[in-house]
A and B are shown apart, each in its own frame.
Chain A
Amino acid sequence: MALDSLSMTFQALADPTRRAILARLALGETSVSELAEPFEMSLPAVSKHLKVLEGAGLITRSRDAQWRPCKLEPTALKTVDDWLERYRRFWEERFDRLEDYLREIQAKDKADKPKKPSDKKRPRKK
């Protein structure tokens, strides 16, 4: 089954080393050997991670320069960010509707209930 691009991005992001590579690339274009240094990894191992990131559209690699620098592509991450924002909105939306519901039900209860004698004594507020 072919994975949609969002799933590929998620899979790419699910690995801590790949997230660290992206964090490094957020600071600027970098060669593969420079990327490999802090991770104490072999070049082929780093290249494998880069391939996954490239496949997910998270980075691009220049064909021009001989050292083929890696560059971050923020658009793919923005898509993930937007998608996750939906989860926050999931609760925001429900809270909004709950707020409306609670307001309506309380207004209705107030209108339905006959006034209690104690209500008269209470000083009016709000």
Chain B
Amino acid sequence: MKKKIIGALLSVVMIVGLVAGCSSSSSDSSSGSSAGSDALSKDNIKVGFVYIGDDSDQGYTSNFMDGTKEMKKALGLSDDQVIEKTNVGEDSSCETALRELAEGGCNIIFATSFGFEDYVMEVAGDYPDVQFCHATGYQSAASELANVHNYFSSIYEARYLTGIIAGMKTETNKIGYVAAMPYSEVISGYTAFYLGAKSVNPDVQMEVQYTNTWNDANLEAQLAQALVDDGCDVIGQHCDSAAAATTAEKAGVWQIGYNTNMIDKAPKASITSCRCDWGIYAEYAVQSLLDGKEIDKDWSQGLAENAVLVTDYNEDLMPEGAADAVEKAKQSIIDGDLHVFDTSTFTVDGKEMTTYKNDFGTEFIKDGYFHEQEIGYGGSSPAFPSDWIIDGITVKK
């Protein structure tokens, strides 16, 4: 009998641990009050978020959650007005999370990962009064649903700027890039990064390899090491963790990050990062809803609006003159004098590209440059052709 009781107690301990481990999956529970038919105001609006990770990833999701905090502060929303679902998979658990938020009285729901889009489209049809905003997706423009919206910032502009630093820093003239998936978003990003480097260092080469997953810190570390072993001395990255930064530090090379400033994790390697400020869109969308205005079907902003930015520099590691070069390029991009994907600056298989049409027949190259993430062309979703590996970049499959 005694043993049984102890056994039961032990099981309870395990279950408690389990619950503690999982409890972050719905950090703020709704207070249960129904969003009544009263007019929407700052006091009764409810905002939902669905994240693929949580803020311990120190990368994609924590950057997103920082934006949410900004929005909350700017609009003066209280804690129970913002419901955040964390560690939601890109599978049917996303649909469950979306429905829970909608049933819980959310007026507007943000879904933050590319793979959430199909579930957003499915759930949005059932809740026409709830606004659904999906980051990094592409389907809203062609959809008949009035309550779905896409948004994404022009992160390639900030990547171009950090690329300038990489180009000035490299001594071996070989940059490595830890890429997640062979999608347009990633390809557009590393192409911009390389073009930034090339703009200040014509001899620079870049090697890109994929982990084929968004989030596997060990694989990212191993891949970064492989790039170092191949002679790269500056590592750029597009993946969710800081593993590339810590590996670069161990190997004695430099690193330029994404999503969050990684200097605290790798003070001897991390020079700076680029990131999206997601708070700007969240604030815009919620404010529009409060004002009774239409939220844009498709939204994209960049350097000019501070929707993307370069984080603080690690002053000890910054190459001389790099800060000025970045500032100058930034101003030129904002003024419209400099276009990241200027077709005169790159070639594919030795040829300058003059035309690219997507499946809907939209021509992307006009006025001498590729119109990436522009409304009226491909929309907010990155559209850089995935089969364009520009000269100077080698991709190992």
Query: Does A pair with B?
Result: no
Interface residues of chain B, those whose CB is within 8 Å of chain A, are: none
